[in-house]
Structure 1
């Protein structure tokens, strides 16, 4: 049975923060667990939709979200769609206090359209909508009318509307799978699998000590500066494609080590003359 996942990013994040208390998630393992939970055999794709604030200057929060979405887009089978948030201001009729909020209506309409389009062309046998938003109920009902099974998944009951739950074939509680796809503290320095990309650096024993791992990141940036044309390495390239036997293959682990170096003032991310975001050591 072929399975496709549709993530409502805002709803997914809110439930994760509220119920999972921000525990780090391995999205590859999460998708595999969901496929098994609905009786599927093959993941045909995982689509992640979210609104982003594209205003300038960029805030640390925006940069962090961009980094997460870049990482997720590198996962096999994951496809990330970003939409501009539209900020609205509402003035309370009683106290006259302004309240600013963001709308992501384009996210909802695109999820509905993609679910119906893929369902109509036989792109899946089972659809899993990772959201409890009642506004997406028409998508569930529409795909079900095509003879497909549609599950809704959420973090416990957080954000799960009764309307969308009634429309779905069944509910998948992500909290039940959290012990399987959450990363433990030791995973900071654990390779994603037993295979490491080859490199000119001799193979090293990877430690479960985050400090040792940050040091490995430091050494790899130093090596990159000495070997890359122009004397610099693109930050995105370093995190996603730089070959190393002492850095993990998993993108978010590399990014975390790099972030620590930047926070400690040992490295910096900067713009080159040709507009590339690059990384280099300081001092």
Structure 2
């Protein structure tokens, strides 16, 4: 059986989903989605989800927290790797007003490091990159140099595509609407400690 490790670019996937479906399919079962992309001779061994915790918006923070908790309950192959949001000040050149923005940091680097490290440690035969971010191309090239026998497949989220990543990978697939619709977490889940987790009404 061919061992597959999936690497999910959380922000690339999120914005692709939002662009195509609005909020309707954000309660996404990542493990089920990745499994649906495999061939019959492949087995999903691990899935790493790269994201960063939302800051400065309590409602968004709670929805994200509930989603990550739901993945932990329902999808045992999923490991979450957190980047961070960095606070930056912005100033209007015309009027001088200032405001605070938060920039996502480290998720691409974390994804790239994990891909190369897992290849070197022989943790997969095929890597499935759920992303259309060309910033991952150097990591793909490094993986192919160090472990040329490893295959890397790019799985492009809805409304996302990268010609550069397509060229570097051994193959690619566009994730279709039907796979997204079918790979949804149950509306309600209960953790081992009895905590009930529900799909946010905002995501309906």
TM over 0.5: yes
Are 2:31 and 1:28 aligned? yes
Aligned residues between the structures: 195
CA 1:134/1:28 → structure 2, altered by over 3 Å: closer, same or farther? Answer: closer
SS at match of 1:241: coil
Alpha-carbon offset, residue 53 of structure 1: 3.5
Alpha-carbon offset, residue 97 of structure 1: 5.6
Higher helix share: 1
Question: Residue 50 of structure 1 corresponds to which residue in structure 2?
Answer: 51
Q: Unpaired segments of 5 or more residues in structure 2?
A: none
What is the 5 A alignment of 1:104-143? 104-143=104-143
Alpha-carbon offset, residue 100 of structure 1: 4.4
CA 1:86/1:156 → structure 2, altered by over 3 Å: closer, same or farther? Answer: same
Alpha-carbon offset, residue 59 of structure 1: 0.6
Residues in 1 aligned to 2:11 and 2:171: alpha-carbon distance in whole angstroms: 21
Whose radius of gyration is greater, 1 or 2?
1
SS at match of 1:25: coil
Q: Unpaired segments of 5 or more residues in structure 1?
A: 190-237, 244-250, 261-283
Q: CA-to-partner distance for each residue in 1:240-276, whole Å, 9 max, x for gaps?
A: 1257xxxxxxx9xx4227x77xxxxxxxxxxxxxxxx
Residues in 1 aligned to 2:13 and 2:41: alpha-carbon distance in whole angstroms: 21
What is the 5 A alignment of 1:1-283? 1-21=2-22, 22-23=24-25, 24-36=27-39, 41-53=42-54, 59-74=58-73, 75-93=75-93, 96=96, 98=98, 100-145=100-145, 146-147=147-148, 148-158=150-160, 160-178=161-179, 181-183=182-184, 188=187, 239-241=190-192, 254-256=196-198
Higher strand share: 2
Query: TM-score scaled to structure 1, two decimals?
Result: 0.60
Query: TM-score scaled to structure 2, two decimals?
Result: 0.80
Alpha-carbon offset, residue 94 of structure 1: 5.4
